[in-house]
Amino acid sequence: MTGDRKRSPGRPLIGVAVMVAKGRNVLLGKRKKAHGAGTWAFPGGHLEFRESIEECARREVFEECGLDIANLRPLAFTNDIFEQADRHYVTLFMRADHRKGCPVVKEPDKCEQWLWSPWPPTVTPLFLPILNLLKQTSS
């Protein structure tokens, strides 16, 4: 889940979001912090300097919910402008399969709970990058 980060004026940040699939369900967490509080999002966060997208995806999934993932692959990207929060992200979506573990709230200051939801999600409201992803995939 993308959290607070210093940002350079006029430059977007890069977020990595991981659609972890278990059967026909995907993992979603209810955000507590920063922009998008109260919305449902995939595990993920900021791409760090000199970190590969795959390393970021694995790190964020483990740090946030303790899951081991497999078959990590690119899915899509979105251009996400959060008007009210005055933030701009390019979100790189990755897809992965659940390998083992039960989701645990490892960052309770950032996430209220994890749940497995059918895709497309049945919970609302959804985090802006997921809404933008759904717009892309439905057109």
What are the pLDDT digits (tens) for 36-88? 999 999 999 999 999 999 999 999 999 999 999 999 999 999 999 999 999 99
Per-residue pLDDT at 9 exceeds 90: no
The domain at 13-138 falls in which architecture? Alpha-Beta Complex (3.90)
pTM score > 0.75 for this model? Answer: yes
Share of the chain above pLDDT 90, in %: 88
Per-residue pLDDT at 1 exceeds 80: no
**All structural domains of the chain with their residue ranges:** 13-138
What type of residue sits at position 77?
F
Per-residue pLDDT at 6 exceeds 70: no
110 vs 137, which has greater pLDDT? Answer: 110
Which residues does 3 contact at the CB level (< 8 Å), separation at least 6?
A: 33, 34, 45, 46, 110
